[in-house]
Structure 1
Amino acid sequence: MENKVTYAPSNLVTETEFENNLYRKVAFKLVPFLMICYIAAYLDRVNVGFAKLHMLDALQFSEAVYGLGAGIFFIGYFLFEVPSNLLMHKIGAKKTIARIMILWAIISAAMAFVQTPTQFYIARFLLGAAEAGFYPAVILYLTYWFPSNRRGKITAIFMTAVPMAGILGGPLSGWIMQDMHNTHGFQGWQWMFIIEAVPSLILGLLVFKLLNDKIQDAKWLSTQEKQYLNEKIILEKKNQIEHVSLFSLLKDKRVIHMALICYCTVSSLSGLSFWLPSVIKSTGVNSILHVGMLTAVPYIFAVISMICVCGHSDKTGERRWHMIIPFLVGGVGLTLSTLFGHNPTLAIAMLSVAAAGTMVCSPLFWSLPTAFLDGRSAAAGIAGINSFAGLAAFFSPFIIGWIKQTTGSTDLGMYFLASFTVIGAILVYLIPKDLVNKTVK
């Protein structure tokens, strides 16, 4: 096959214009819906951070119990993520994403009825097992439609769902917990779990109608558009790893290096997400509604950072320093948020710096491994990397909970998270330049 994709010349539209318009069309069709799904997913994952503000007193749970329960989600996630993504590669995105969303909606709603630490642990574990594979499934799904030189910005736009969940979920959770408290005999935190599970259930059913498994299945594309997209993806595959065993893949030094970087991104990000409401409350903000509204502020800055930094990275073709600098900025923000803990305004400003830095690293990171993994290798590699990183999401909340219970403060926990931003920056710096160059061609 020639190293050129098929394009029918036009007197009105150049090939570059045709390509840009086509990928814009695909992005508008797929990305907004996937973002809404991930907003629902992330909200159901981290709303336990708001529930904690009342749930611990109501059920007599310790900080360590909460930390273990928040983190044990990722044990289920770790165990079921690779099988889930391999299954998606076999049966398609629609069945996989719908199954994941419907199951996690049911389990998330059931969180309202836990009474003991054991029930809490089991529910969180099952929620992780149910959600396992959603994020890497979407990352894999995007590789079916977009070449690597366009995935940085597309992934960043999709990943803004995380801070968007914070922007929308913070005020919503605060309002539900405050205004729905003791309605029909349920406490506010119980209503929060039930109400916030409903969107996931509805979206899970809509997946069958709104997503296409393959380019060929998209009725909203012309024959020429389908051919053009397919040939773009096929051209890129010739430089990727194909038909390797899972065992060989996980021995690949590049995959291991990527997994370590992903561990650092997830460790700093998940710790911040699960403990942000508690950190804000510790600055002297007592109203649950006000806590919810203030948690939205760092996430607003994160959205702006993700779009600007990832867009600039795609435009310039540079990856390493676009990750190193945000890593270090995030670490500085986490550290300074503890030093200004007595001042709510300065503390939230520094948490905004931390969120803007740590959250931009994740979408930039995924532009790296998806450039040299393909097909079954991508399904296993992406899920394997994300699963390993999920261990960080288990240990970080647990260790912060243990530190909080032992010291009575979250300060050392924030320093703990900041250490991973430094390690992550070093690991990114050590990525071989030829691997980065392949990624940004």
Structure 2
Amino acid sequence: MTQHTLAHPGDQAGRLDVYRKITWRIMPFIVLCYLCAYLDRVNVGFAKLQMMNDLKFTDAIYGLGAGIFFIGYFIFEVPSNLILHKVGARRWIARIMITWAIISAATLFVQTPTQFYVVRFLLGVAEAGFSPGIMLYLTYWFPAKKRGFALGFYYIAIPLAGVVGGPLSGWILDAFGQSSVMRGWQWLFLIEAIPSLLAGIAVLFLMVDKPEQAQWLTSEEKRNVIEEIRREDSAKTTHGSSASFIRDSRLWKLCLVYFCQIIGLYGISFWLPSIIKGAGISDNTMIGWLSAIPYFIAIPAIILTGISADRLRSRRMHFSVALVIGAIGLAFSGYVGRDPTLAIIGLSVGTAGTLSALSLFWGIPSAFLAGTSAAAGIATINCVGNLAGFVSPYMVGWLNDTTGNVKIGLYAVAAFMVLGALLVRMISAKFADQ
């Protein structure tokens, strides 16, 4: 980068170079942290393949335990994000990751449904604030027009967790299944908590709170980034009081949309291994490898959708189309029943659509909120919407046990996703597509 480029803040090429530098400096580590978070959150889906039989749990017990995580998450989400905004991402993200690693590992001691519920609730409390905290953190570094790509980059951690975690989890279950020390599912919780613990410690040394503290940016680059984000924030909403925040109907509309979307996300995350097993695959290692396929296919879909939405300034349209495609794929995977090839095709389409929509969603609230309102707004939408993380697995488990037909639960999940695609149209394009 030349001094001439840096000397002209309005020069488009110079700004692109700055954000490219920021992207490659901070995003790979953030993706690694979120990969650890998501792995610890959903490895219970693989543990289910063994622990259900060992502990004599029903689908309803499993669904309630998987979902109760989000009750703790809901209660502590907004306070956690406000603390992060006050004390800085570095210290608070490190605290979150270290505590959730310890609690996730403690799941290996579970023997009763009550213990399962308690440890899942505490895991939600520990992790509360991580995902919205990272999304808030990105608003410190990227203006809205660059944030679609950054969020897409961030959310590839979910499919990466599936690509890495699926085969790893299946291998752990089989490799340690005959251990005389612990059962395979217990080893799973212990081993997969270690990366989160190490990454949490690394955050203290590697994360930089804001651009003005980044020693790897020149003074001119810092000024360009700070000024561009400040100009953008001056045109955004900063609520003057709690009452005005609560009265902002856009927030509650987005909560509804996100709720429907998360129904789909965790319909896939918590049940994907079981869907593959139900299609006639019994070997845990093979289930692990097959479960990686939908996530692998989702990676380019997320990136390309984010780039397209940024260029066309049409987040709502891209979001709706992606979510409907995800719903069709998920419903199809249930419809084809015991055909493993068609089930994988349906799950791949469903996962790609659902995760693409997820990466697009967070560009909407961050496009019109700034400062403390952004911290509280993002956390509020995330925590209310994530109540679907409780509803989704419990709903599917209850429907499985009640009807004896696994298709019904998947159809219900798909219906919520279509509803979310319709509800997003309530958000004005003036705010959503900035």
TM-score higher than 0.5: yes
State the TM-score, normalizing by the size of structure 2: 0.97
Q: Which runs of 5+ in 2 are unaligned?
A: none
Report the residue type matching 1:282 in the other structure.
Answer: G
Deviation of 1:184 (Å):
4.2
Are the equivalent residues in 2 in contact too, given 1:9–1:15 (CA < 8 A)?
A: no
2:194 pairs, out of 191, 198, 201, with 198
Are the equivalent residues in 2 in contact too, given 1:181–1:187 (CA < 8 A)?
A: yes
1:75 match: 71
1:94 match: 90
Deviation of 1:296 (Å):
0.5
Whole-Å separation in 2 of the counterparts to 1:112 and 1:356: 32
Are the equivalent residues in 1 in contact too, given 2:237–2:368 (CA < 8 A)?
A: yes
Q: Deviations over 1:77-106 (max 9, x none)?
A: 000000000000110001110000000000
Verify: 1:295 aligned to 2:291, yes or no: yes
Report the residue type matching 2:123 in the other structure.
Answer: L
What is the 5 A alignment of 1:150-165? 150-165=146-161
Q: How many aligned positions are there?
A: 432
Of the structure 1 ranges 296-305 and 126-135, higher mean CA displacement relative to structure 2 is found in 296-305
Whole-Å separation in 2 of the counterparts to 1:110 and 1:245: 41
Are the equivalent residues in 2 in contact too, given 1:298–1:356 (CA < 8 A)?
A: yes
What is the 5 A alignment of 1:230-249? 230-249=226-245
Report the residue type matching 1:273 in the other structure.
Answer: S
State the TM-score, normalizing by the size of structure 1: 0.95
Whole-Å separation in 2 of the counterparts to 1:218 and 1:184: 50
1:137 pairs, out of 133, 145, 158, with 133
Are the equivalent residues in 2 in contact too, given 1:250–1:381 (CA < 8 A)?
A: no
Verify: 1:167 aligned to 2:163, yes or no: yes
Whole-Å separation in 2 of the counterparts to 1:56 and 1:30: 40
Whole-Å separation in 1 of the counterparts to 2:409 and 2:6: 61
Verify: 1:209 aligned to 2:205, yes or no: yes
1:340 pairs, out of 326, 336, 341, with 336
Of the structure 1 ranges 206-215 and 179-188, higher mean CA displacement relative to structure 2 is found in 179-188
The share of aligned pairs that are identical, in percent, is 48
Report the residue type matching 1:99 in the other structure.
Answer: R
Deviation of 1:245 (Å):
2.6
SS at match of 1:284: coil
Whole-Å separation in 2 of the counterparts to 1:110 and 1:337: 34
Q: Which runs of 5+ in 1 are unaligned?
A: 1-6
1:310 match: 306
Are the equivalent residues in 1 in contact too, given 2:330–2:346 (CA < 8 A)?
A: yes
Whole-Å separation in 1 of the counterparts to 2:362 and 2:5: 35
Q: Deviations over 1:193-250 (max 9, x none)?
A: 0000000000000001111112111111111111111001100011111243334213
Aligned Cα root-mean-square deviation (Å): 1.5
1:320 pairs, out of 296, 316, 321, with 316
Whole-Å separation in 2 of the counterparts to 1:168 and 1:118: 30
Whole-Å separation in 2 of the counterparts to 1:101 and 1:12: 40
Report runs of 4+ in structure 1 exceeding 4 Å deviation. Answer: 10-14
Are the equivalent residues in 1 in contact too, given 2:330–2:350 (CA < 8 A)?
A: yes
Are the equivalent residues in 2 in contact too, given 1:246–1:380 (CA < 8 A)?
A: no
Verify: 1:361 aligned to 2:328, yes or no: no
Q: Deviations over 1:153-177 (max 9, x none)?
A: 1101100101110010000000000
SS at match of 1:197: helix
SS at match of 2:314: coil
Deviation of 1:265 (Å):
1.3
Whole-Å separation in 2 of the counterparts to 1:114 and 1:213: 37
